[in-house]
Amino acid sequence: MYVGKLVFAQLMEHLPLHTLRRCVARYPSRYPTLTFSHLDQFLAMAFAQLTYRESLRDIETCLRAHSGKLYHLGIRGRIARSTLADANEKRDWRIYRDLALSLIQTGRKLYAGDDFGVELKNTAYALDTTTIDLCLTLFPWARFRKHKAAVKLHTLLDLRGNIPTFIHISDGKLHEVNVLDQIAFEAGSFYVMDRGFLDFGRLHRLHRAQAFFVIRAKSNLQYRRLYSHPIDKASGLRCDQTIALTGVRSCTDYPVALRRIKFYDATHDKLLVFLTNSFDLPALTVTELYRCRWQVELFFKWIKQHLRIKAFFGASENAVKTQVWIAIAVYVLVAVVKKRLHLEASLYTILQILSLTLFEKTPLDQLLAQIELDDEMAKNANQLNLFM
C-alpha cells in the first residue's frame, strides 16, 4: 500500500512557492499572516475550485470534516469562514494575479510545440470577452445597466495549449475594444478577433508593432478594391482582395492597404468576410485561423462550468478578483500537471478525477494515468449535446 502524500498535496507540489512568497512581499498588507497565511488562503480557495464548493460555509464545513488531514494538505492555519472572508476582502488580489501569470509562463513553455490545427509557425492568439452577471445590490461597484451588475473577463488565449496569456477584469461598462490599448503586441504574432474589436486606429497600432490580425468585417465597411487575387471557389473562397479604406475616419485611422477575404461556410450556410494585414498567408489558412477563435469561447464555457467564477464568495471588487485569479491559477496548474505527467485525458476528465480523490494517497501519476479515455464512445453516447 502506498504511504505518502495526499493527492491534493501532490498537485500543489507543482505550485511555485518561491514565486508566491515574492508576490506576497511585493504587495504587503496589515492583515495578519501568522495564523492564516497567504498559502493557506490559496490552498483553501484552490480546494473550493477543485471540489466545486458553493460558499465559504461549504468550504469551512468540508475542510473541518477532514481536520486531521489539513496539515498533510499543506494548510497550517485554522479554517474559519470569517477568516477566509476577511482574507479575500483585505489581501491584495494582485498577489494571485502575479502568481497566475507566473504559472501561465510555465504553461506556455510546456505547450509551445503543440499543434492547434493550422499550419502556422507563428504564435497565434484569440481575443474575446465574456460577461459574468451579478446582483447590483450586492455588487454596486460593478454597475452594468440600470438594474444590473456584471464583470467582464477580457482574455487573450494562446491557441497552442489554450493557455490564457492576458486577462483583464473590468466592470460591465467597459467596451471590449478598449482592451486593445492594454495589450503589448508581439511582432510576428497573429491576433484573431471578432468584429466587436474592430477599431481601425487600434488595428493600425497593432500593424505598426509588426504583428498581424484576423478580424471579421462589418457589413457597412467602406472600401475600394485595389487588386483581386486568384482563388479556388471549390474551397469555399469567394474573393481575395487587396483594398483601401474609403470611410471618412477609417481611411485616416488605417491609411495603408488591407486584405479582404470572403468565405462561404457551407456547414452553417453563412457568408463571412475577414480583414487581415497579412498578405503572405494563404487565404484558406486565414479562414482556418479565424475558426480557431472558437477556442476562446470554449475556454469561457469551460471555466464557467467547471470552476467557481459565477458564484462568488465575497462581494467586494478585491474578493471577486481574488477568486477569479485563483480559479485561473488552478486551471493553468492542472494544465501544467497534465503536460508534465504526459497525460492524454482532457482537463475536464482530470478535474473530475481530482474532485473525488484529493484525500487519497495514490501517486498522482498512477491515478491520472489510469483514466480510460474513449472519445468515440463519448461521441456516440446517448447523452444529449446541449451546446451544439
Domain boundaries, the chain: 7-96+313-380, 195-292
pLDDT recorded at residue 373: 47
Span 296-319, pLDDT tens digits: 888 888 888 777 777 789 989 999
- What is the C-alpha separation between 137 and 135, in angstroms, rounded? 5
pLDDT recorded at residue 371: 66
pLDDT recorded at residue 309: 79
pLDDT recorded at residue 345: 81
User: What percent of the chain shows pLDDT beyond 70?
Assistant: 94
The arithmetic mean of pLDDT across residues 247-275, rounded, is 93
Query: Residues 6 or more apart from 86 whose CB is under 8 A from it?
Result: 31
Which amino acid is present at 36? Answer: F
Q: Which has the higher per-residue pLDDT, 72 or 271?
A: 271
Would you say residue 274 has pLDDT above 70?
yes
pTM: 0.85
pLDDT recorded at residue 157: 93
- What is the C-alpha separation between 90 and 324, in angstroms, rounded? 15
Q: How confident is the model at residue 374 (pLDDT cuts 50, 70, 90)?
A: very low
Which amino acid is present at 146? Answer: K
Span 347-369, pLDDT tens digits: 878 888 888 888 888 888 888 77
pLDDT recorded at residue 118: 87
Q: How confident is the model at residue 184 (pLDDT cuts 50, 70, 90)?
A: very high
The arithmetic mean of pLDDT across residues 83-106, rounded, is 93
pLDDT recorded at residue 70: 83
- What is the C-alpha separation between 18 and 286, in angstroms, rounded? 42
CA 200 to chain CA centroid, Å, is 25
The arithmetic mean of pLDDT across residues 207-213, rounded, is 96
Average pLDDT in the chain: 87
pLDDT recorded at residue 383: 39
